[in-house]
Structure formats: structure tokens, C-alpha cells
Amino acid sequence: MRRVFGVKKDKEPPPSIQDASERINKRGDSVDEKIKKLDAELSRYKEQIKKTRPGPAQEAVKARAMRVLKQKRMYEGQRDMLYNQTFNLDQVAFASEGIKDAQQTMSALKSANKELKGMMKTVRIQDIDNLQDEMMDLMDVSNEIQETLGRSYNVPDDIDEDELLGELDALEADMGFETETDGVPSYLQPDKESDLEGELNLPSAPTGHAAVPAGRTNAQAEDELGLPAVPRASLRG
């Protein structure tokens, strides 16, 4: 059967944009080479026209130059057409790359959207609000515990702050006053004995026996405290 109908040939894959662009660029390079050759030939013909005298010879050279010039213009038109095709292919390739980038972006966004939806199912706003409220309550309780532990046991609650400020001012004034001898503040000096006798204006106590005045036989002696002695009775008849 294969000999009668033959074998089905596999279809060649269509050329890609890159392949088509490379092929057109090669054709453009070939056309450029032909244009360069024609330019060199035209330059030679121009020199011949300048050197020859007007006449049939010069006209023949001009005819050949016109034919080369026409070929050059034809190749230039082909080159421009190839350049336009290359530009169109570049535009298509750019658009194709942009679409591929957009497809990749959409695929990445879909994957991220799916993952984000799965994560949002496990996180609820109400749970976050409840957690924040619990944390605030715990912080308040912690502050109350710290204040309670830092409370002083011996300090009464009904202390007058104005009275404390007055005592503090008096203490500062007392600390500023120093004695002339050793520079010790008055509140650190030992207590002095009060001079009660000076305050009451009492006479000083004598320290010895008082002198007996002359002419008195039965003088009364004073005791050590300055009081009059008691007279002694005589046993004589």
C-alpha cells in the first residue's frame, strides 16, 4: 500500500518570528553588497565620461551608467522593502513578548490570589480584635500588679503634702546654717542642757562656809548648802 499511495510526509513547523527576521536580514545584507558594487561601477563610469570627448563613445558610456543606476534604484527599493518587513517583524516580536509577559504576570497573580485566599480563611478580623483586647487587659493587670508590689507598707495614706513641703523647706534652711566652730548643722549637734537657773534669775549656791561676823559669840554656822545651822542646846547650869 505504501508503494501505491506513498508515505505521508510530516508537515514542517511554521517558521518563528526570529527565523523570519534572520532570513530577511540576510537578504538585506546581500542587497547591500550588490548596491555597493553598483556604486563602484557608477564611479568608474563617471570618470570615463569626464575623460571622453562628447560623441558616440561618451554616449555609450552614459547609457551603461544609466543602466547601472536603474539597477541600483531597484535594489534600493528592495532594501527599503526588506527593512520595512524587518521593522514589522520586530513590532510583532515585541507585541508577542509583551503578551507572554502578560500571561506570566496573570499566572503569577492567579497563583498569589489563590494562596492569599487560603491564608485569609485562617485569619479573621474578629480574632485579631479579640487578641488585641486580651493583650490590653493583660497589660492593665500587669501594671496593677507592679503598682501593688511597689507600694510602701509604712507610709500612711493621709499625709498632707503641704506639711511635708514645709518640713522640707525647714530642713533645707537648717542644713544651710552651720556653726562657727566645726561647721556641723544644728540638727546634727548634741542637745544643750537648759540653763534653768539663768531663766529663773536665782542666786548661785555658795561653795564653802560663810564668815562669822565679829562681836557675836553664838554665831550660827552655815552648812555646806548655805543654810543656817541649828543651834545646839547647852547642858551647863
pLDDT 10s digits, 175-196: 765 444 455 555 555 555 555 4
Confidence at residue 118, expressed as pLDDT on a 0 to 100 scale: 87
CA distances (Å), origin 222, targets 58, 205, 219? 183, 12, 10
pTM of the model: 0.41
User: Which among 134, 131, 133, 112 is positioned nearest to 123, based on CA atoms?
Assistant: 131
Q: Kindly give the parts of the chain with pLDDT less than 70.
A: 1-10, 152-160, 176-237
Query: Can you give the pLDDT at residue 17?
Result: 78
User: Hunting for cell 547647852 — which residue is that?
Assistant: 234
Measured CA to CA in angstroms, residue 65 lies from 48, 59, 70, 72, 114 at distances of 10, 10, 9, 10, 73
pLDDT given for residue 15 in this prediction: 75
What gap in Å lies between CA 51 and CA 56, rounded to an integer? 13
Residues facing residue 222 across a β-bridge: 228
